[in-house]
Chain A
Amino acid sequence: MQDVIGYRPEDAGATPSLFADYRSTVRRSPQRELIRIPYTLSEVTGPAGCWERLMGTALADLTTQHRDAPLGQRIIVSGRVLDENARPVPNTVVEIWQANAAGRYIHIRDQWDAPIDPNFTGAGRAITDAEGRYRFVTIRPGAYPWGNHRNAWRPAHIHLSLLGPAFATRLVTQLYFPDDPLIEIDPIANAVPMPYRNRLVARFDIATTVPNWALGYLFDIILKGRAQTPFEDHDHAH
């Protein structure tokens, strides 16, 4: 008597695991078809309500982690975590990490010749409220070159990691900025087909912007939603 209601399959905007323009995918993406398994308790459960015990206290302001203020343009990144039935996902963890204003990560493997900012780490985490809202204060990250191909540059981006309510809803993604011409030529963003790629582009919002203090961007994160019945499987979901 443990038939569970599963989650919906990926929608038309799903990212493929192989996208040859992003060269690292060629030897790292599975070649066999993914195996459809029956949903069980293992896929529909996940940690909840224990975020502080697990990951430590929230750290939603990335501009006050060190002695002085970081360099760069202060921004607010805010939004809601929803499921695809448009219901809020409350009390769930959102982790972010990013480069500094010059496009440099605080990581020894990042060899880009741009300055480290001793006052900026670039890592944060927040817990959504009852309406699924989160809000970070950070610095707008810079673009940076990478080794994918000659003259390859990543658009400015913030990495996001969410667990959601279940093993099935786990998501790692990236947020891009609306005025960035590099999105159009970036192999990682371009792995997502249009128009769905635009789901990853945040919106500048004057109401989120705080006068004389910080520009505001909105970015909602939509996690997989529950299927309608325990018997809705991948073949019949659409």
Chain B
Amino acid sequence: MHTESPDLETRNVAPRQDNLDPALFGQTPSQTVGPYFHYGLPWKGAADLVGASEMGARPDLFPAEHYVLAVAREHPAPLGEVVELRGRVLDGEGQAVVDAMVEIWQANANGRYASPSDPRDEVPLDPNFIGFGRTATDATGVWRFRTIRPGRVPGPGNSLQAPHVAVSVFGRGLLTRLATRIYFEDGEGNDTDPVLAAVPAERRATLIAHRDPGGAWVRDIVLQGADETAFFAL
């Protein structure tokens, strides 16, 4: 054999079962965010949906020259009542989870989502409000957002949902994203909200934020145990 293989430059390796195997096509499985996401995900200002503070990031956890994420930018204030929303993430032993990440997604003050999947053009968008936020928990397991109080959004049938914020929780030891919601203690329509109604009555309180003496809305997220937060199957 003195002739070169005709496919020498293009031949590929023998297939093994992997990501591209047609027989395996389906949802990519979830994996944990791990403990080292801070230099890659929560940017400065990610937790401030109103102003240009650096809330959300943890630049104390890696060298400044390795900060490659977005920087907070000044922009006009969105419409609506500014609220602080905060809480801790706690594990099954009541210990603070200091390496969790919390995200929120919410409607604007008019109850409109800044998303092409919200088709209601009759409800105005707010050019200064996207409604997505992200934060790492701090050294005491506390997460904190500055946002606006969302308006009411329609639910199934002719129902109207109570004001709420959709919440995702990630962390070391969490193999999957945990989805939940936070409502406001004095929210109009809490008693008829179709999602709260799907939660067993004795667990609804785990989704409702209370106002603390300083005016902030507070709700702990409990991953496990007697006061376990009601998490959703989506």
Query: What residues of chain A have their CB less than 8 Å away from a CB belonging to chain B?
Result: 1-3, 7, 9-17, 19, 22, 24-32, 34-50, 53-56, 59, 65-66, 79, 84, 86, 95-97, 99, 105-110, 118, 121-124, 159, 161, 163, 165-168, 170-175, 178, 188-189, 191-192, 195-207, 218-224, 234
Pair A171/B177 contact, Cβ less than 8 Å: yes
Contact flag A3-B27 (CB < 8 Å), given A47-B132, A172-B177: no
Contact flag A28-B223 (CB < 8 Å), given A45-B118, A50-B130: yes
Query: What residues of chain B have their CB less than 8 Å away from a CB belonging to chain A?
Result: 10-13, 15-21, 23-41, 43, 60-63, 65-66, 68-71, 73, 91-93, 95, 97, 99, 103, 105-107, 113-118, 130-132, 153-158, 161, 164, 166, 168, 170-179, 181, 194-195, 198-200, 203, 223-225, 228-234
Pair A123/B40 contact, Cβ less than 8 Å: yes
A123 and B18 alpha carbons, distance in the complex (Å): 25
Pair B116/A159 contact, Cβ less than 8 Å: no
* 22 interchain pairs, CB-CB under 8 A: A13-B26, A15-B29, A15-B30, A28-B174, A29-B173, A30-B231, A40-B153, A41-B113, A41-B153, A41-B154, A42-B106, A43-B166, A46-B105, A109-B35, A121-B66, A175-B19, A188-B32, A198-B19, A201-B16, A201-B18, A206-B10, A207-B12
Contacts of B92 in A (CB 8 A): 26-28, 31
A198 and B164 alpha carbons, distance in the complex (Å): 38
Contacts of B230 in A (CB 8 A): 32, 35
Contact flag A173-B31 (CB < 8 Å), given A2-B156, A41-B118, A45-B113: yes
B137 to chain A minimum Cβ distance, whole angstroms, is 13
Pair A48/B68 contact, Cβ less than 8 Å: no
A162 and B30 alpha carbons, distance in the complex (Å): 11
Contacts of A26 in B (CB 8 A): 92, 173
Contact flag A56-B224 (CB < 8 Å), given A29-B173, A159-B37, A222-B27: no
Pair B19/A22 contact, Cβ less than 8 Å: no
A205 to chain B minimum Cβ distance, whole angstroms, is 7
Pair B93/A48 contact, Cβ less than 8 Å: no
Contacts of B15 in A (CB 8 A): 203
Pair A123/B232 contact, Cβ less than 8 Å: no
Contacts of B91 in A (CB 8 A): 27-28
Contacts of B62 in A (CB 8 A): 106-108
Contact flag A34-B233 (CB < 8 Å), given A28-B224, A201-B19: yes
Contacts of B194 in A (CB 8 A): 38, 40
A167 and B93 alpha carbons, distance in the complex (Å): 29
9 cross-chain pairs, A with B, having the tightest CB-CB distances, nearest first: A97-B40, A24-B173, A56-B70, A2-B154, A45-B115, A28-B173, A34-B233, A123-B40, A45-B113
B interface: dominant SS: loop
A84 and B179 alpha carbons, distance in the complex (Å): 20
A105 and B33 alpha carbons, distance in the complex (Å): 14
A97 and B15 alpha carbons, distance in the complex (Å): 27
A182 and B95 alpha carbons, distance in the complex (Å): 31
Pair A204/B13 contact, Cβ less than 8 Å: yes
Which residue of A32, A123, A171, A172 contacts B39 across the interface (Cβ within 8 Å)?
A: A123
Known: A29-B223, A172-B177. 19 other contacts (CB 8 A): A1-B154, A2-B157, A14-B30, A16-B175, A28-B173, A31-B228, A41-B154, A47-B114, A47-B132, A48-B116, A86-B25, A97-B36, A108-B61, A123-B66, A199-B19, A199-B28, A201-B16, A205-B12, A206-B11
Pair B173/A171 contact, Cβ less than 8 Å: no
Pair B198/A13 contact, Cβ less than 8 Å: no
Pair B166/A107 contact, Cβ less than 8 Å: no
Which residue of B115, B132, B164, B225 contacts A54 across the interface (Cβ within 8 Å)?
A: B132
A104 and B17 alpha carbons, distance in the complex (Å): 29
Contacts of B23 in A (CB 8 A): 195
Contacts of A39 in B (CB 8 A): 234
Pair B117/A46 contact, Cβ less than 8 Å: yes
Contacts of B172 in A (CB 8 A): 24, 28
Pair B29/A13 contact, Cβ less than 8 Å: yes
Contact flag A218-B39 (CB < 8 Å), given A15-B29, A42-B105: no
A103 and B12 alpha carbons, distance in the complex (Å): 28
Which residue of A36, A43, A224 contacts B198 across the interface (Cβ within 8 Å)?
A: A36
